[in-house]
């Protein structure tokens, strides 16, 4: 079988910062050029990580497993969109290093928003509960989030619309030749 070019798009950011929304909006656009799979952190916790909690060790193991499955898919020409808080830099960098060792493009996308904006928006009501002490180890409140130093792409989801974020990611992916020149283009 011909080897096609897969890739890993890794969406990292605080809860409610738009990782899932952005990956879901991008998937059909990327699917015009490449087979796509979304690995959503919440869903993957049920499927592959039932044992894991929210200690640093467990969060790192969660990222490790997501990275393993993403590489497996990317090796077969699939673009894996991973949406997971993945708060620790060293765990993300390990995924990046392992992908690089296999020649798999790894694009880190930081869905950046101020904690204040997320708390005030509080789409799922989780921040209110975390601040009230009802959810332990909540990233940004009682657990750390290590911001990416030099993500390939950063979108300010508290300052731009979802469509604007999507457009910026698409421009970046085209600049990196991971997408064809136009989303109108059909599959090769």
* Window contacting a copy of itself (CB under 8 A); options: 72-80, 100-108, 118-126, 148-156: 72-80
Shortest distance, position 45 Cβ to a copy of itself, whole Å? 12
Q: Is 120 a catalytic residue?
A: no
Select from 149, 63, 167 the least CA-distant residue to 112.
149
Q: Is 187 in the site for a copy of itself (CB under 8 A)?
A: yes
Classify residue 73 by burial, with Cβ atoms within 10 Å: 0-12, 13-18, 19+. Answer: buried
Q: What is the DSSP string of the chain?
A: -PPP--EEEEEE-STTSSHHHHHHHHHHHHTTTS-EEEEEHHHHHHHH-TT--SSHHHHHHHHHHHHHHHHHHHHTT-EEEEE-----HHHHHHHHHHHHHTT--EEEEEEE--HHHHHHH-TTSHHHHHHTTSSSS-BTTTB-----SS-SEEEETTTS-HHHHHHHHHHHHHHTTSS-S-TTPPP-
Q: Is 73 in the site for a copy of itself (CB under 8 A)?
A: yes
**Nearer to a copy of itself among residue 34 and residue 110 (C-beta):** 34
**Nearer to a copy of itself among residue 68 and residue 114 (C-beta):** 68
Question: Which of residues 68, 133, 136, 147 is near a copy of itself by CB under 8 A?
Answer: 68
Question: 86, 90, 120, 165: which one is catalytic?
Answer: 86
Question: Which of residues 27, 48, 126, 170 is near a copy of itself by CB under 8 A?
Answer: 48
**Nearer to a copy of itself among residue 163 and residue 187 (C-beta):** 187
Question: Which of residues 5, 24, 27, 35 is near a copy of itself by CB under 8 A?
Answer: 35
Shortest distance, position 72 Cβ to a copy of itself, whole Å? 7
**Nearer to a copy of itself among residue 48 and residue 162 (C-beta):** 48
Shortest distance, position 97 Cβ to a copy of itself, whole Å? 16
Shortest distance, position 22 Cβ to a copy of itself, whole Å? 21
């Amino acid at each position: 079988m011909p080897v096609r070019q897969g890739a890993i798009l890794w969406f990292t950011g605080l809860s409610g910062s738009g990782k899932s929304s952005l990956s879901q909006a991008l998937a059909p656009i990327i699917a015009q050029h490449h087979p796509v799979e979304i690995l959503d952190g919440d869903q993957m916790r049920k499927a592959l990580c039932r044992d894991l909690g929210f200690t640093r060790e467990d969060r790192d193991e969660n990222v490790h497993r997501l990275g393993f499955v993403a590489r497996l898919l990317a090796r077969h020409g699939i673009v894996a969109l991973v949406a997971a808080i993945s708060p620790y830099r060293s765990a993300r960098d390990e995924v990046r290093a392992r992908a690089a060792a296999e020649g798999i493009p790894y694009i880190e996308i930081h869905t950046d928003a101020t904690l204040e904006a997320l708390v005030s928006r509080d789409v799922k009501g989780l921040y209110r509960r975390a601040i009230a002490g009802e959810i332990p180890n909540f990233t940004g409140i009682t657990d750390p989030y290590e911001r990416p130093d030099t993500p390939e792409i950063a979108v300010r989801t508290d300052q731009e619309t979802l469509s604007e974020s999507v457009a910026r990611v698409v421009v970046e992916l085209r600049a990196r030749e991971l997408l064809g020149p136009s989303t109108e283009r059909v599959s090769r």
